[in-house]
Structure 1
Amino acid sequence: MEVEKDKEVSVDDILQILGPFGKFNMLNHIMILFPVLLAGMYSSVYNFEAMDLKYRCSVPECEEPSAVNFSIPHGLDGSPSRCRRFAPFYNNTLNDTCSPNYYDTSTEVPCDSYIYFEEHSIVKEFDLGCQDWKRSLVGTVHNAGFFISIPLSGLLSDRCGRRLAVVFASVACGVFGVLRAFSLNYPMFIVLEFLEPALGGGVYTACFVLAMELVGPKGRVFISLLFNTMFILGGVSVTTLSWWLQSWRYLLLVIYIPALPVFFYLWSLTESFRWLFSKGQFEEGINVLKKCEKFNKVTVPKDHYDQVEKQAMKKRDAMNYEISVTNQSALKQIFSSALIWKRLFICSFLWSSSTLVYYGLSINAIELSGNRYLNYIVVLLIEAPANVCKYICLDRFGRKKVIASAFVLTGIVLITYGFVPSGNWSEAFYLSGKFFITLAYNSLYIFAAEVFPTNYRTTLLAMCSTIGRIGSVLAPQTPLLTKYFEYLPTLVFGIMAALSGLCVLTLPETNNLELPDSLKDAEAQDKGYVPNINKVTDSKTTL
């Protein structure tokens, strides 16, 4: 009884009184979800900026339509070559350059120019015919920008506030996206393609952290589901807009200009009270909670705020004491633990594998037969049931079983894909691969957070996410593998996913275990439990 009586009120207790989804939180989350929708667009737009077009080799000396039959070699499907043409006979005396006898059908030479039948991507604008490496470089450069934005966003969010991080990242995306729409040449375009995600790529993470810190534990699962849904809608929206506008410049203007007004969030969006507490700004943090109380028209006992302030002060003092006693920063403590190194290596590999397969399947979907836009939309929409499945299965069957099974099933499906005849079954296997990798990838966010100690969790997750971007950087290059073997990309994806499934088995099960607060707690996870040291201490004190 004494333990219950002496129990302190936490911030989550106050949030329960305020209501996890009262008017105040709903208003703020609507504002936060808008940049998330835009982030979903920005993560997919490079696929349509640099989309391959229909074109053929140009024969300047004779552009009569009938000349294509004898001046350009044809493929097995009967279409004229995109990159090769027949050379004129050496010392040709014929004046009729449109005569079949003018061309040496035994000698092929590279094309000097091209005739484009479409114009909705940079391929025509910057004359990138038969330079597929320049097209794929757009996606690689875009994803490489995240190596800068992820740590930058984390640093800005922790030091200057969640709200400022959201505003900075969103506006940076808007500015560099709009500038990119006015690119004069390919080098200018590629530089701006890198700068946009390098400075604004952390918008999703910044929004996610702020949203999670504004609600209690019971609201976090739903918030995560909302974020996933909005991100999918963003991808579907940019695909639909690209299909409708048929102009990469107009597309960029339409999706990036709305990011600029997010600048006014500096005065309208609520700052995280948890961040304010962590910085010792207790009065400002309490004012945020009181503002929510007033807006939602509920009453919170005054002593609740006093207890929350005392708890926040204790946490700050405890953190400072740990650093002074160990005489080590959190970063130094990380590199002294073999356990942390092991988990960091495994989680980084899982992250890299996940991003390679996840983004690779999306990018390669455009290259599938049929309508390229519909293919991409369907591959995106299959993520919705995967996200729902994640929330149903993770708590019921455990993290390891679900994630390992999802990886292994991804591997089996994608390796088998190459042996399935083209048609409905082939498409079903491809979509199944995207379903299972989405289930594994999105579950990995939760699992990785649960295997790292509290004091190191943010830093280690940022490292995993940053290293994991290696996969997303390589993903845009995978369509080039089809030149060697049509199903080589999906074969590579399948092997990586299968290996990841085996690696998951080396991590501890974290389902129904308390989050580890220290290295000792993390070690206890391997034994199937995490002792709640705080509760034991409280009980002894009471006795």
Structure 2
Amino acid sequence: MDPEKNKDSEVTVDDILQILGPFGKFNIYNYVLILFPVLLAGMYSSVYNFEAMDLRYKCSTPECEDPDVNFTIPHLEDGSPSKCLRYALFNVSDFTNSTQNNETCYPHYFDTSSEIECDSYVYFEEHSIVKEFNLGCQDWKRSLVGTVHNAGFFISIPLTGLISDRFGRRLALVFASVANGVFGVIRAFSLNYEMFIVLEFLEPALGGGVYTACFVLALELVGPKGRVFVSLLFNTMFILGGVTVTLLSWWLQSWRYLLLVIYIPAILVFFYLWTLTESFRWLFSKGLYEEGLNVLSKCEKVNKATVPKDHYDQVEKTAMKQRDARKCEVLATNQSTFKQLLLSPMIWKRLFTCSFLWTTSTLVYYGLSINAIELSGNSYLNYIVVIVIEAPANVCKLICLDRFGRKRVIASAFMMTGIILIAYGFLPGGNWSTTFYLGGKFFITLAYNSLYIFAAEVFPTNYRTTLLAICSTIGRIGSAVAPQTPLLSRFYEFLPTLVFGVMSALSGLLVLTLPETNNQKLPDSLKEAQEQDRHRDKEDVGERQPGETERRIDTKTKL
């Protein structure tokens, strides 16, 4: 018998998944459970914008608080009173005597040629921490909330990745979600700004990895044909989370009530320890074959599918063979699996590439969102528009990723983002300028959301979450820097979009160095991940061994 033919006839997990179907009752039940924390994560990623939302206020002038007068505070070009400046008094002692005698304040007491900073404020709104903690004209304290929030991800994402790869996807998901809930609820009772800012850091520091944990678990429960649709579900739920928290904030008009409403449900995810299915791929990677096969068998019963009994035996043998091969490789090289990963140039190259792509994505995505908020006068409607505009990009991703492949779509999206944003700086204001700006947001959303599934497909199963978490953590540099990019416009008005455009164009070129993963099974080991590069090299130079075309077609048919 031809060994190559026998090799191709081996049954894999993906073959069983094809029989079970990607969207049977068992899958839908687990997706509903998994998508709930994703919806909450969408809320948590946006809530700090409303906690620290700027309010309408003006400089307090206790010497003359009559709202109808306009000689105590300088006014801006649009006629609104200055928030941070007031006119100095000509003679404080005379003014004191006049107020003691109950005299009405007059313009001649105020020096309109001398402006001084305010020492107190009159707030017209009170739905954010600006009023409660008296943060008037301290924009750095408001912006620090977002910076501290994003800084927490540098801890949470690798922490969640380690828990996920060592103790299971389910436990990592529960840990992160419950941590979100606990610290979010405590933050609702903050007594001062310092307590608030510490809890703003701790919440994402321990719970910020919930999206990654959910995504990896969902991806490993479905076959190749269902991955893009699962990714679309995640993006849609994340968008709904952002819209939901915006509407809740608009309705409640209280940051404390808002936190209680959105964070209490996260604590209920604790019960997932008994209701959510663990990833059979993770179980196989840990040598827990019986538990992994039980998950597949349960899926077969619930979905009312029929899987040939010998398929399970073959999958178990294949998994054991792969695990034994890894053990032999460890013994032969006297190196642990993780050490082999660290010593693999291929892994380092992919880590660098994916981390750079992630940094670019977060920088451009959040940077454009910050500026796009000014599209309308209503802050809540602004944010909804910014989020909803991502929906067409997600639909485009669903249509294109499987049809044209991961590399082509993501590289094209980055390149289009670069071209559009660089050209944006040379366009006059008006409809064309707005169209190009929104086009840049569309393509960076397409690239960013596609990157999650692409990056997950180029790393081996036993350390997939950890490596994905490293990329995502480094990528958070972009989201942390994004709020500061408007400062670049002080040097040149279009410098921020030029920086975004150049980084996007470079990312488009870097994508081409990664292997195509469309319709390929997830690599379960370092060796299988290396095979992806060999497969890419053969395609690049047009090399194929005799009979390879037929084997590839056969494999794709099975998948």
Partner of 2:311: 304
Cα distance in 2 for partners of 1:529, 1:334 equals 25
- What's 1:430 paired with? 437
Render the CA deviation track for 1:373-411: whole Å, top value 9, x for unaligned: 222112211212112212333344454443333223323
Q: Which amino acid aligns with 2:156?
A: S
Which residue of the other structure, out of 27, 42, 45, is the alignment partner of 1:43?
45
2:326 paired with 1:324: no
Indicate if the aligned counterparts of 2:227 and 2:453 stay in contact, CA closer than 8 A: no
The alignment partner of 2:113 has SS state of strand
1:267-306 alignment to 2 at 5 Å? 267-306=274-313
**1:187 counterpart SS class:** helix
Task: Give structure 1 stretches of 5+ with no counterpart.
Answer: none
- 1:525 is matched with 536
Residue number among 4, 17, 20 corresponding to 2:19 in the alignment: 17
Determine the structure 2 residue equivalent to 1:467. Answer: 474
Secondary structure of the 1:175 match is helix
Partner of 1:28: 30
Q: 1:30-179 to 2 correspondence within 5 Å?
A: 30-67=32-69, 69-90=70-91, 92-94=93-95, 95-96=97-98, 98-179=105-186
Partners of 2:346 and 2:300 in 1: CA distance: 44
Q: Is the 8 A contact 2:231 2:453 kept in 1?
A: no
Larger displacement relative to structure 2 (42-51 or 425-434):
425-434
Give the TM-score taking structure 1 as reference length. Answer: 0.89
Give the alignment of 1:119-518 within 5 angstroms: 119-334=126-341, 336=343, 340-417=347-424, 424-449=431-456, 458-479=465-486, 488-505=495-512, 517-518=528-529
Give secondary structure in 1 for the equivalent of 2:94: coil
Inter-partner Cα distance in structure 1 for 2:533 and 2:264: 46
Distance 2:284 2:408 in 1: 37
Describe the superposition over 1:187-222 as per-residue Cα deviations: whole angstroms up to 9, x where unpaired: 111111111111111111111111122222222222
Return the alpha-carbon distance in structure 2 between the equivalents of residues 92 and 351 of structure 1: 61
SS at match of 1:528: helix
1:180–1:474 distance in 2 versus 1, CA, 3 Å: same
2: CA distance, partners of 1:371 / 1:389: 29
Q: 1:453 and 1:292 mapped to 2: Cα distance?
A: 24
Cα distance, 1:445 vs structure 2: 2.9
- Structure 1 residues 252, 426: CA separation in 2 closer, same or farther (over 3 Å shift)? farther
Q: Assess, with a 3 A threshold, how the Cα gap between structure 1 residues 479 and 186 changes in structure 2: closer, same or farther.
A: farther
* Distance in 1 between residues matched to 2:61 and 2:520, nearest whole Å: 69
Does the 8 Å contact 1:453/1:522 carry over to 2?
no
Preserved CA contact (<8 Å) 2:285 2:461: no
User: What displacement does 1:522 show?
Assistant: 2.6
Shift of 1:498: 3.5
For the 8 Å contact 2:152–2:202, the answer to whether it is kept is yes
Query: 1:329-388 deviations in whole A, cap 9, x for unaligned?
Result: 445445545555444333322211110111222233334442222221122112121122
In structure 1, what is the Cα distance between the partners aligned to 2:139 and 2:489? 12
For residues 151-173 of structure 1, give each alpha carbon's deviation from its aligned partner in whole angstroms, at most 9, with x where no partner exists. 11111111111111111111111
Once the two structures are TM-superposed, the CA of residue 509 in structure 1 deviates from its matched residue by: 5.8
Structure 1 stretch displaced more, 306-315 or 500-509? 500-509
Q: 2 CA distance for matches of 1:522 and 1:54?
A: 57
- Cα distance in 2 between the residues matched to 1:202 and 1:83: 39
| 2:485 partner amino acid | T
| One-letter code aligned to 1:82 | K
Supply the AA of the counterpart residue of 2:471. C
Normalised by the length of structure 2, the TM-score is 0.87
Q: How many residues align?
A: 535
SS at the partner of 2:164? helix
TM-superposed deviation, 1:454: 6.9
Q: Percent identity?
A: 77
> Which amino acid in the other structure matches residue 74 of structure 2?
P
Q: How far does residue 226 in structure 1 lie from its aligned partner after superposition?
A: 1.0
Q: How far does residue 484 in structure 1 lie from its aligned partner after superposition?
A: 6.5
Counterpart residue type for residue 420 of structure 2: V
Shift of 1:185: 0.9
Q: CA RMSD in A?
A: 3.0
Deviation at 1:447, TM superposition (A): 3.9
